[in-house]
Amino acid sequence: MNIALLSLLGLCLVIIVSAVLRLNVGILAISLAWVIGYYLAGMKVSAIVAGFPIGLATMLFGVTFLFGQAQQNGTLGNLAGRAIGLAGGHRGLIPLLFFILPLILASIGPGNIAAVALIAPLAMAIAGRTGISAFLMTLMVANGANAGAFSPFAPTGIIANQLIARQSITMDPWTQVYLPSLLAQSFIALFGYLIFGGLRLWRANPAGPTSPPTALTKRPARLTIAQWATVGAIAALIAGVALFKADLGFLAITLALLLAMVGAADQEAAFKAVPWDTIIMVCGVSVLVAIVEQTGGLALFTALLARVSTAQNVPGVIAFVAGAVSAYSSSSGVVMPTFIAMVPSLITTLGGGDPVAIISAINVGSHVVDVSPLSTLGAMCIANAAAHEDRNRLFQRLLIYGLAMAVVGALVAYLFFVILW
């Protein structure tokens, strides 16, 4: 049997198992990567190990370790109470607030991944305190970050603009790259807010029919010296990433070390709070995805779906294909370089098509699925979910939603870039 098809079937097996069994699929993915890569594809073990995303693992560990200290010494709880005050006591405004915050942060430079890494711990802590669905909060945070991802100042926007220029296609960075994604992501986020519980937050609250939740009305205590030190570390993290382009993971680890050295937090307790299961899950799947990519599985999947394209429906189709691949692959590292590079030849083959509409569809389709737990954004939110949340169930719901977004992204792309274009 074709090795590309076998590797693709292996990835499908991991996705199915993750949806039906309470098993850390990262371990299964690493095992399959070894069997497929070493025994079937004849790859060296070193080549298989090279697929392990050490940068992602470092970022996940560093951020969750630092914010684990902030959780342990009460800083997150205190900041959560203060941030809730911005909603004026209305729980229904809180998810919307945590759509806007990562949007702004991603747009000014750090990008979508850094924005979620910085906002998710606070957002998920507030969701846990106020009885807001962790699923809904994840949708708002991830979509907000992606809405700002294509800013010319953000890494994803920089990558997109460079890839577009390489194809000798002229697109304005603000109105034709950033704005279409901003509008599409905002539309999807608003739709998700209305469908998945946002309206119910205005009609009822967990404390009773007439009184607001305690978490919305209780005045937080003054910050202690340890908490001020932690706030300073978080501010330094944001400034380091946004202004000095510091590596997020290593900077977070360094700041966490400094907090532990001055006694601002219990290092052992914070170390135990790191979600090792989530790190293994995401990194393990990444190893398998690298094998599938190298053996031609991703190319096979893309080729099969691309056959249904025409000059008229290509934005919708390409958004679906990009979303389906991006659900378990890197949006900016794999999907965008592959799909944007094929736009000129695709237009030639189809005998027509608007390159701006097609590229906009690729950008939107590849990122609307990033709420999936197989992506960094979804994984970061799961990692910071409140202690009482069932993370396995949250993983399953986000996986189903993320895969469904490949279809939704295609419909939105067709609406925005064909009907309304």
Return the domain boundaries, the chain. 1-50+276-295
* Dist. CA 350–CA 346, nearest whole Å: 6
Report pLDDT for 302: 65
How far is residue 226's CA from residue 41's CA, in Å, rounded to a whole number? 53
Residue type, 10: G
Q: How many residues does the chain have?
A: 421
Distance of CA 70 to the CA centre of its chain: 22
Percentage helix, strand, coil, to 5, in the chain? 75, 0, 25
Give the per-residue pLDDT at 329. Answer: 66
Helix axes 134-147, 355-368, angle to 10 degrees: 150
Exposed/middle/buried for residue 272 (C-beta within 10 Å: 0-12, 13-18, 19+)? exposed
Q: For the chain, which residues score pLDDT lower than 50?
A: 207-212
Sorted by sequence, the CB contacts under 8 Å of residue 372 that are 6+ apart come out as: 327, 328, 378, 398, 399, 401, 402, 403, 405
What is the CB neighbour count within 10 angstroms for residue 174?
Answer: 13
> In angstroms, rounded to a whole number, what is the distance separating the alpha carbons of residues 163 and 358?
14
Q: With contact defined as beta carbons under 8 Å apart, do 367 and 326 qualify? A: yes
H helices of 295-334, where? 297-306, 314-326
43 DSSP 8-state letter: -
Tokens of 92: 């229904």
Smallest Cα–Cα separation from 155: which of 367, 356, 402, 10? 367
How open is the CA angle 188-379-392, to the nearest 5 degrees? 100
Q: Is 197 left (phi over 0), alpha (psi -120 to 50) or beta?
A: left
- In whole angstroms, give the CA distance from residue 20 to residue 27: 16
The reported pLDDT for the residue numbered 210 is 39
Q: Which tokens is 23 given?
A: 């098993």
Given a contact cutoff of 8 angstroms between Cβ atoms, the answer to whether 94 and 87 are in contact is: yes
Closest CA to 238 of 130, 411, 109: 109
